[in-house]
Each structure stands twice: as C-alpha cells, then as structure tokens.
Amino acid sequence: MKEIIYLDHAAATPISKGVLAAMQPYFSERFFNPSSPYLPAVGVRQDYERAKDDIAQAIGAKGSELIITAGATESINLAFQIIPQCCHDIVFSAPSAWSKRSDPRSIPMPKGGDPTSWSAPLASSALKMKQKKDVVRTDCCTITPKALTRSPSFTSRAEIDQLAIQQPAVVLTSAIEHPAVLEAAKRCGNYDTVAVNGRGLVDLDDLKAKLTDSIVLISVQLVNNELGTIQPISDIAHLVKNERANRLKAGNTTPLYLHCDASQGFGLLDVNVARLGVDMLTLNSGKVYGPKQVGALYVGRQVKLDPLIVGGGQEQGMRAGTQNVAGVVGFAKAVKDAKKHVLGEQKRLGELKTALKHDLAANISFVEFLGDPKKQLNSFVPITLPGLDAERLIFILEESGVLVATGSACAASKGTKSHVLKAIGLTDKQIDGSLRLTMGKLNTPANTKKAAELIIQAVNTECERLGL
C-alpha cells in the first residue's frame, strides 16, 4: 500500500488515540442527557463542566466564560451577535407622522407591490416595523439613513442598498480573514477591511485610521489560515483600549469590542485572553487533534450577546441544544495534550520547516516562500511556483501519495482564487501556482524529506511538459 504523506494539517487534524479513548464512554455507558435530573445524568453533567473548565483554563479563562458551539464558524457568527442592530435591525430616522403609526399594516407599500417578492430582509422592513420614539426598527441588516425623512416608498432594492453603503462602518476586520468572518461582516451591512502588507501582517496604521467612532467590533484572526502569519493581537488590543478612552472623554457611548479567531494558533502558541487583550476568542477542536464540529467562544464578562440558537436554554441560554458531551470531553483532552507538549512541538515543527524549505529552495530555482518568516507558525510552509498550475500539481502529488492544498480548504471547495493571496499583492500567475504545505503530528523528518523529493519531482515534470 502506498504511503500517504499528509501536509494539510491546517485543514484538519486526526483525532489522537487518547482523545478517542476519552470520548468513547459517552457514546455508550455514559450516554445520559446532562440536563436530566437523575444521578447518572448529573455525573455526566459534571464531566461536561469539568471538560469546559479544562478548555477555559488553557486560555486563562473560566468555564462559565465559554460557550460551546458546533465549530469555529458558529462561534464566529455568535461573536458577531454583539451587533444585534446590524444583524437584526434596520433603523430609519423617520418623520413623526410615520413613527406614530403603530400598526405595521398601515405603512405604505413600497413601489413594486407585494413585499413577499422582495428579498427576506426587505420584506421584514415592510412587515416587522417596531416603534420606538422617532426611530423605526425592523428585523434585518443595518441601515441608518438619517437623511431619510420621507415616506418609506422606495423604487428598488438598489436604492436601499445604496443607503446602506453610505452608512459609517460598524465592523472592522482584516482583508485576509477566514470567509466565516468576512461573510458575517457582510451580513452586518456596514463594514470595512484593514490592509495587510505583502507578508500578510495587518497594517496597524491603516487599522488606526479606519478605527472611527462608529466601529463596534474589530475581528482579526490570531494566525492566518493560508499564510500562517501571526497577527499582533495585543497591539491591536492596545489601540482598542486607547480608542475606548478617547470615546469616554468625548462622551461617545458607542461600545468597542475585539474578537479574535484563534482556530489556527491555538495548540501551537501560548494563547491567553488577558495577555492578548481580547473580549471574545474563537476556538476550534478540529485543528488541535480533537473531534470536528466542536468549537467554543470565549466571552468576557463585559460582553452581552444575543443567542443564535434558542430553545432549551443550554450554555447559559446562549446556545440551545443537548450538550455534545463526548465532543467536549474529547476537545478538553486534545487541549490538555497540546498544552503539555506545546514547546516541544514548536521546536520539532520548526526543524521540519527549516529542512523542507531548504530542500525546496535548493532544487527549485523559482520557488517563492510566502508569509512573514519571523512571524509565522512553524507548521506553515506556503509557497508559490509562478508559471505552474497548482491544481495540476495537487493531482500529481496525490498520485505519489502526498496530500497538499491550494490556499484554504474553503476557497478550494468554491473553486475561487484566494482572496488572501490577492490581498497581499500576488499576481494571478503567482496565485495560480500557490501551494499551502502545513505540517503536524503525522510528519517526521523522513516523510517530510520524502515529500520534498516528490514535490521537486512533480515540479520538474511540469516544467518539462511546459518547456520551462
């Protein structure tokens, strides 16, 4: 059987044997619902809470400050609930005659007739009006056009969209965030992106310039999922602290929160919420050799969120649904193992990375290494081979037993060019030739060297085919 060499640990990690063993009882003899009142279920509930405490302790938090979710994407979307007016309201400064209407059915219909023919948000704006003084709210995205002082009769959806565009941003995020963050920001209607340099580091001067007094949420990942670049989160937290002080002096009561997606860095870096200075932090079990579809959101005590999922009131009312005890116990075991071996694993991966880069550079004259070499996770070796088709290389390498990726797994599944690589200024030729090599527990000096040889062989084969 052909040996498989896995170089895509940034996409997924295998559950370790210890994690699987820790989870096993909760699929069989300890299957009880932790919300039930009898003793066996109470015992399971205690196991669940202890597991949460273990996860929280790893980031310097308390179990009560964690909300367990079904993965990082849900955690990120939950964090964006800090802006309920963005995700649920349209706010119009309305004329007094309009605002006095208490019955939504008395509001004039927009041109075009039946609101059910509109998109759901606009239908909401016609049918779910709520009165509060001279402000009309609806369940939808943020639009706060103070200039709108006429009857709510609009010619088209484009007119509404234009009004939204004219509003000041309430969310600030980097241009290279994971799609989960960027899509959540888009749902809020009004957001801005911070530029990054050619190595993928957030431009702090640009962030400071765009941190206007309307911004409510800043979301920046700890480690970029395509480049491995480690972002200066504590420096961003310092800017947030100064902005809060300035707002207080100016009498501006607009709150400001900092969220960080630590999916990639957690388990390989020292992650502590106090030292980072974050208000919310996203964690992902599937990236630290724990079970997939298990995540967590750290929420500081000063943060008040609206739940995404309602029902039975689990997770202190923030995430309804029967608790995933086996998943959380497995997550906790994975976190404890990672914490115990973090320094040794950093050193080991650093040595593998150095060797892999040396072999590639010595045998491929045109290889370019991406990311910041001084501020990059040791598991990442992103490269570009301008002039070659990375997707062809992936298939060739798979035939040889080497599994690699182009950019993020999410971008690859959509068949789109990486927005991350565009943001750092790569040309189309560089983007088309980019590969993301990410190492982990499945890699050894021997199979990493073998992978390098097979990559070099594949590149040479393609160069000969193309006459390069």
Mean pLDDT confidence for 123-132: 36
**Is the separation of the CB atoms in 119 and 90 below 8 Å?**
no
Question: Is the model's pLDDT at 409 over the cut of 50?
Answer: no
- Other C-beta atoms within 10 Å of 162: how many? 12
**Is the separation of the CB atoms in 221 and 261 below 8 Å?**
yes
Q: Tens of pLDDT along 348-368?
A: 999 999 999 999 999 999 999
- E strands within 343-409? 368-369, 380-384, 402-403
DSSP 8-state symbol, 248: H
Question: Which contiguous run of DSSP H or E holds residue 137?
Answer: strand 135-139
Q: What percent of the chain has pLDDT over 90?
A: 72
Cα–Cα distance measured from residue 87 to residue 138, given in angstroms and rounded to the nearest whole number: 10
Place of tokens 């619902």: 33
- Other C-beta atoms within 10 Å of 399: how many? 11
Cα–Cα distance measured from residue 386 to residue 461, given in angstroms and rounded to the nearest whole number: 15
Which one has a higher pLDDT value, 98 or 38?
A: 38
Single out the catalytic residue among 141, 188, 410, 463: 410
> In three state form, how does the secondary structure of 26-59 look?
HHCCCCCCCCCCCHHHHHHHHHHHHHHHHHHHHC
How high is the pLDDT of residue 363? 97
How high is the pLDDT of residue 166? 57
DSSP 8-state symbol, 298: E
How high is the pLDDT of residue 171? 94
Select from 171, 180, 192 the least CA-distant residue to 86.
Answer: 171
- When the pLDDT of each residue in the chain is averaged and rounded to a whole number, the result is 84
Burial degree of 349 (CB within 10 A; 0-12, 13-18, 19+):
buried
Can you list the domains of the chain with their CATH numbers? 5-14+342-466 (3.90.1150.10), 48-83+167-333 (3.40.640.10), 92-161 (no CATH)
How high is the pLDDT of residue 90? 34
Mean pLDDT confidence for 96-112: 35
Mean pLDDT confidence for 284-313: 92
Helices 72-79 & 179-187 angle (0-180, nearest 10): 30
How high is the pLDDT of residue 99? 32
How high is the pLDDT of residue 141? 38
Alpha helices in 59-152 (DSSP H): 72-79, 84-88, 96-99, 120-127
Q: Is 410 a catalytic residue?
A: yes
Q: Tens of pLDDT along 179-217?
A: 999 999 998 878 999 999 999 999 999 999 999 999 999
Question: Which contiguous run of DSSP H or E holds residue 174?
Answer: strand 171-174
DSSP 8-state symbol, 387: T
Question: Is the model's pLDDT at 440 over the cut of 60?
Answer: yes
Question: Is the model's pLDDT at 392 over the cut of 90?
Answer: yes
Supply φ then ψ for residue 290, to 5 degrees: -105, 180
Token couple for 336? 């404890």
How high is the pLDDT of residue 97? 31
Q: Tens of pLDDT along 246-284?
A: 999 999 999 999 999 999 999 999 999 999 999 999 999
Q: Which of 79-88, 220-229, 287-296 has the lowest mean pLDDT?
A: 79-88
**Is the separation of the CB atoms in 390 and 435 below 8 Å?**
yes
Question: Which contiguous run of DSSP H or E holds residue 188?
Answer: none
DSSP 8-state symbol, 166: T
How high is the pLDDT of residue 162? 56
pLDDT band at 407 (very low <50, low <70, confident <90, very high): low
Q: Tens of pLDDT along 50-99?
A: 999 999 999 999 999 999 999 999 999 999 998 864 444 333 333 333 23
How high is the pLDDT of residue 279? 97
